[in-house]
Amino acid sequence: MFPPEIRDGIGETLRESHLTDFSIEELEQQIVDGYNATEGTLKGVDCPICKNKGDIMVLDPLTLERKVRDCQCQAQRRSLRFMAQSGLGNVLDLYTWEKWQCREPWQEKALQVAKDYAAHPEGWFLAAGRPGTGKTHLCTAICGDLLRNGRMVRYLLWREFTTQAKAVVNDDEAYRELVEPYKRVPVLYLDDLFKTGKGQTPTAGDCNLAFELLNHRYTNPYQLTIISTELTIPQLLDVDEATGSRIYERSKGHYLDMSGKKNWRLA
């Protein structure tokens, strides 16, 4: 915004020189319109409003102050960045609500529970059951909705994570760099919790790591946690009561027990 004395001086000069009959307001609006007509270079979203600059200029009608504000397309651009950073980029288009097949009544109910959570995300979401029942599909579809709504989501595959954590457990700095981001991310998708090799069971180290991660998120109720596992609530409690009880409490109303359902991947 030009100071009043400068703005008035400019207007007087223009009037005296007969260069223009425009008012200061009209001249300011021309500057704003010129800025908004300038093409930007941002990629990913083709926005006709900001011309891919990511922001627009507006003119305050009372003070004639020019202000630059984020364009509405920035929310979508953030979502795209979050998708790329989430670790789910390759499967978000594969596991959608539309591609979920309701061949049996329980699948319709599972779809509705997952959709309800995505529409009103609060607490934790837990999908438990044997492989091939659709746990990953529904959890990923939830994450897709949250990402498109501008939420930051991180994907964590349990077996891969535990291998990495055990490799750096004696290096405090490296361990923190690995674990801390998953503790603090607004939305965490923890896939295949307590998954082990055939014939194996979760170790004390596995239980300690799961408790450290999930207890931190348990004490921060505004963080969302989405969990898939082959273990039901009673089985989780058997593995580690402290972790299992926290999962049970946070996922009330958002728990899918698909443990007795058919493996549709083999069908």
pLDDT of residue 5: 42
Fold of 76-258: Rossmann fold (3.40.50)
pLDDT of residue 7: 44
Per-domain boundaries in the chain: 24-71, 76-258
Q: Give the tokens for residue 172.
A: 């405090």
pTM of the model: 0.74
Contact 78, 147 (CB under 8 A): no
Contact 250, 120 (CB under 8 A): no
Neighbours of 105 (CB within 10 A): 8
| pLDDT tens readout for residues 116-137 | 999 999 999 999 998 889 999 9
What whole-number distance in Å separates Cα of residue 259 and Cα of residue 106? Answer: 12
In this prediction, the residues of the chain whose per-residue pLDDT falls under 70 are 1-21, 79, 261-267
Nearest-CA neighbor of 231 among 129, 134, 101, 96? 129
Nearest-CA neighbor of 162 among 138, 182, 143, 142? 182
